[in-house]
Amino acid sequence: MEKKKNTIEQFNEHVMGSYGRYDLVLEKGEGRTAEDENGRQYIDFGSGIGTNSLGYCNEKWVEAVCAQAHSIQHTSNYYYTKVQAVFAKKLCEAAGYDKMFFGNSGAEANECAIKIARKYSFDKYGKDAERNIIVTLKNSFHGRTMGTLSATGQDVFHNYFFPFLPGFVNAKANDIADLKRVLDENKGRVCAVMFEFIQGEGGVIALEHEFVNAIFEECAKDDILTIADEVQTGVGRTGTLLTSEQYGVKPDITTLAKGLAGGVPIGVCLATEKCSGVLTPGTHGSTFGGNPLACAGGNAVLDTLLAEGFTDSIVQKGNFFRQKLNELPQVDHVSGLGLMIGVSLKEGDPHDVAKKCLENGLLILTAKEKLRFLPPLNISYEEIDKGLEILAGVLG
């Protein structure tokens, strides 16, 4: 009789090996704790790379998604649904944007932003102007589609899939002189500057306020659109709905995804009035964009996030988290804002540390040569303490 394959063997037999997965099968979760198929529990400091913003199976989120599933789970974008309209109004008003486009991921939201920027200049200046270059930052990450990979400013991602798309040039992050140099060298051909306020995959590195101000000042001189990739930093992750609020600026376009629907795939591209009418019928689309289940989850997330005092609690917990990390003798430097935290160690491989943490009941992430923490936004102080106690034990 043929031996029954376990979950990992069965998975690897049928799924492409494009991920470096841990040998862990997660079966269920509750609150901020995940449970594997053997019943072992894990404190989650990663929340599905910042996606399970309210943790596992939050009661209000579950009720909203289940109620929607009993109503209508999908319809094409030839038609309207009430849950889409409610969500769009709630998010646009809270974020202070005119209109939005629904997608399914951060990469899709960024693709939409790229298309808006190029069509904005095409419509206004004409095809002959060739005003289609988008400036992105070195060490950035914008997604894994061909367009967003081309926009990503990390050489490590520019392999195998040649040719990458033209029309993207990189400037050094936090280097105003280099930003001006790139804009001058491409004067009259740049349609947008695209950036993350905190480079997440790049190592949880925040842009300096002076540099961000320079982006907006330089773009204003030549009608260049500003695109903020807030796929990882948005939806309260850093202590405000949008991280742009903490920098005192208003990008023409902002993209959101990850934690926006609490674990259901969603991506959103927000636009100000200046460019909210660029995408006319037939110029862009997405079969699953604005899926009713995702919008129902999004409404539950926004209702929680926008409740009085909730974002303040993110700031307070983030400060507590960083303070505790700084007290660990093995920690060299702590970066980030709110509950988006990066940690440089004095010695040791962060990937080995992450693996050992898993073995001891703690799920954490890495980014470049750092540990990365993106816990659920409603994590408790007790859970932070418990998780950091595990980390301290692993670090020795």
Residues designated as active site: 141, 229, 258
Q: From CA 380, how far away is CA 118, in angstroms rounded?
A: 44
What the block records as the tokens of 113 is: 């932003």
Q: Beginning with the edge strand found earlier in the chain, give each strand of the sheet holding 33-36 in spatial order.
A: 26-30, 33-36, 41-44, 362-363
- Cis preceding-peptide flag for 292 (omega within 30 of 0): no
**In the beta sheet, which residues pair with residue 193?**
135, 226
Nearest Cα neighbor of 157 from 141, 168, 169 is 141
- Residue of 244, 357, 306, 250 lying closest to 314 (CA atoms): 306
Distance in angstroms (rounded) separating the CA atoms of residues 130 and 132? 6
Give the sign of the dihedral formed by CA 35, CA 41, CA 42, CA 47.
positive
- Residue 199 CB coordination number (10 Å): 28
